[in-house]
Chains A and B, each alone.
Chain A
Amino acid sequence: MRKIRALIVDDSSVMRKIVERSIRQAGIDLAEVREAGNGAEALGALKESGADLVLCDINMPVMDGIEFLKQLQGVENAKGVPVVMITTEGSESHVVQALSIGARGYIRKPFTPEQVKEHVIPLLDDKK
C-alpha cells in the first residue's frame, strides 16, 4: 500500500494522537499527518494542500463535523478524498446524515485499531 497523507480533525489533542496511533496500528503507512482542531481549520488545511484521507470528529466548537462535510463539497483539493467520521455521536440519524452528505465511513468512540482498519483500508484500496 502506498504512503498516504492523513488529516485528523478533533478538538481533543489527545484524541488526535490516539487516532494517529490507531491508523499506524492498522498497518497504514503514513507519509504525513496533519491535525486540525475543528472543521474550519480542516477546510483551510485541505484548501492548502489536500489529503488522501480525513478522519473527523462531529462534536467540535467553531465548526462541527457535519458542517465541515457540507462545506467540503466545494473544496477543489478535497474531491474524492474519503472522510471517515470518528465520534461519540452514534445515533442512527447522525450516521445517516453524515453518510448522505459525503462521509464514507462512521466509527463510534470508544474504538479499537481493528475498527479503524476495517473502515479505512477498503477506502484506500478504492483509491489505488
Chain B
Amino acid sequence: MNTTNPISTHDGTLESWRPMLELAAREVFEIMLGCKLEVQNDEPSLPGEFTAMVGLAGQLCGLLTLRCGSQSAALMASKMLGAEIKETDQQMWDAIGEIANMVAGNFKNKLSGMGEGCMLSVPTVITGSDYSCRSMADTAPLEVAFLFEGAPVVIALELHS
C-alpha cells in the first residue's frame, strides 16, 4: 500500500506537501494500527506529553515530530502490539518513535526523487510538556492535526532550505 505519488518539485511552500503528509500518516495508522485518522480542521490543541522526533538529512533536511498525550501514546502502542500497554510501559515510547519513523519514511518515499537523497535519523522521544524547542528551520512548520480515537495527534514537518 506504499502508493508513490509523483511530486517532483514543490512550489516553494511546505503547504503544498500537506496532502502527502496527511496520506503518509493515514497509511501508517491504517496499516500498522488498524485505525483511521481523522483530520482536525479546527485550530489544533497541542498535546505535549509525548513528542517523537525523526531527523531528516540530505536533500530534505529538517525534523518531523509527532505529538500526543500519554493516553494516546499508550493506545497507539496497544493497537500496534495487539495487547494492552500501560502508560508507564517503555514499549509506549518505542511505539510512538517507530510510528514517527514510519510516517517520515512513508512521506519522503512519496516525494519523487526525495527518497534517494534523504536519510532518516533513528527516532528520539521526549516526555513532558514543559520544554521549549528552538528550531534552525527557516520556514514555519507544516502542522497537520488529527484525531486518533477522539484524541489530538499533531504531526509537524520543519525544513531547512
Contacts and interface: CB of A to CB of B under 8 A. Distances in A.
Given A21-B82, A89-B105, A112 B94 contact: no
A110 B80 contact: no
A18 B105 CA distance: 18
Interface in A6-38: 11-15, 17-18, 21
B53 interface: no
Nearest to A87: B105
B106 interface: yes
B98 A12 contact: yes
Given A12-B94, A13-B91, A14-B81, A92 B116 contact: yes
A88 B106 CA distance: 7
A48 to B, nearest CB: 25
Looking at B31, B101, B116, B119, the one whose CB has the most chain A CB atoms below 10 A away is B101
Contacts, number: 67
Interface of B: 1-2, 27-28, 31-32, 77, 80-82, 91, 94-95, 97-98, 101-102, 104-106, 109, 115-116, 118-120, 122
22 contacts: A12-B97, A12-B101, A13-B91, A14-B98, A17-B81, A18-B32, A18-B81, A21-B82, A87-B105, A88-B104, A89-B120, A90-B109, A90-B115, A91-B118, A108-B105, A108-B109, A109-B32, A109-B106, A110-B2, A110-B32, A110-B102, A112-B31
